[in-house]
Amino acid sequence: MKNRKNLIPFEKLKADLMKNPEFVREYEQLQPEFAIARAIINARIKKKVSQAELAKRMRTGQAVVSRLEGATASPSLSLLKRLADALNLKLEIRFT
């Protein structure tokens, strides 16, 4: 664990990065994707369902669920509906 002293806590890294206006602009533009990912993760955990089980219920692959939760894919409305159905939830979309 010799290299452990070189690790930077996430909070410090984020605070340092947030001093850069270009980073802040990009960070804010990605907030909808991150909000969707957080909502998916929270719903799946609340329902006590694994990624693999959710994928099975959605009739898709576990990698699809992983990409959704990692915010590396922009889900279609039909995919979000299938996800909501698989978790027996209602899908609501809002503009604020």
Token look-up 């206006």 returns: 21
78 and 64 Cβ atoms separated by less than 8 Å:
no
Asked whether residue 4 carries a pLDDT value surpassing 70, the answer given is no
> To the nearest 5 percent, what fractions of the chain are helix, strand and coil?
65, 0, 35
pLDDT at 68: 95
pTM of full prediction above 0.75: yes
CA nearest 69: which of 33, 95, 31, 93?
33
Give the integer Cα–Cα distance in Å for 10 and 27: 15
- Mean pLDDT across 85-90: 97
Q: Please list, in sequence order, all residues whose beta carbon lies within 8 angstroms of the beta carbon of residue 61, skipping any fewer than 6 positions away.
A: 55
